[in-house]
Amino acid sequence: MKKTLSIVALLSIFLLGAQAETIVLRTGARVKGTILLQNEEVLIVRDTEGARFQFPRADVAEIVAGDAPVAEETAQTGEEPEIRTAKKVSALLEISGGAALRPNEAAGGGVGADLIIGTHHIGSRHIFIGGGLGYHGVFLGAEKYNFLPVQAALRLPLVEGKHAPVFGVSLGYGVALSKNYAGGLYAGMDFGYRCQLNPKTAVAVVAFARFQQAKVDVVEVIDGMEFVNRTGRNLVTPGLKLALYF
């Protein structure tokens, strides 16, 4: 009798441990089975018929243990369920190049590199927000301007998905890297295409326009006397950049 009870107890423990879970996807589809592997990037499950399925972790809305009821809110309202993604530190690296313009003067060129630290997840969206530093060089004929922009940045996908148009803005101050001129206000605006490779990594190709204010000393000679006046110059750089989120 004791032996029979022990066997029953062991079987009960085994059955409870092997109890299937229900995987609810953002699309509303559900898969019932046993989770074989899950991490921040992927979830692998074996269904009740023995077939294996692999899903990107970002596509999983909810995991319901055992036979607990699954909320029907998605089917009733048509809204996508929330993805509970941990807010973690991410980085954004941008390499840029394009033309350089100044009113009433010949065009030149501009290059730049920016490294911004922030978060790539706001709620259930892959929104990037953060702050960082960069290097921007502007070349107009014989004149060269080099700045170290200290900036805050926002990159917002217009839709949530693997492929999405993305809009971005940056605002800060460009620190001059020469004594021949002073820095000033820096602002930038982006619009392009972003591909989400996994929950933590994405790449983007973006068209941008950025504005940098420079202050230079201009020497004027009046009646044989030299006067130094500091005047502002507005440098506008449109172009393309490649961005990597990681």
Annotated domain spans of the chain: 2-77, 89-245
Predicted local confidence at residue 126, as pLDDT: 83
Band of pLDDT at residue 102, cut at 50, 70 and 90: confident
Tokens of 167: 């809009």
Mean pLDDT for all residues in the chain:
80
- CATH topology match: 2-77 vs 89-245: no
- Give the architecture (CATH level 2) of 2-77: Roll (2.30)
Are the CB atoms for 184 and 213 separated by under 8 Å? Answer: yes
| Dist CA 109 CA 184 (whole Å) | 19
Band of pLDDT at residue 16, cut at 50, 70 and 90: very low
pLDDT in tens, 168-200: 999 999 999 998 899 999 999 999 999 988 777
| Dist CA 14 CA 83 (whole Å) | 31
Q: pTM value?
A: 0.63
Instruction: Give the CATH class of 89-245.
Output: mainly beta
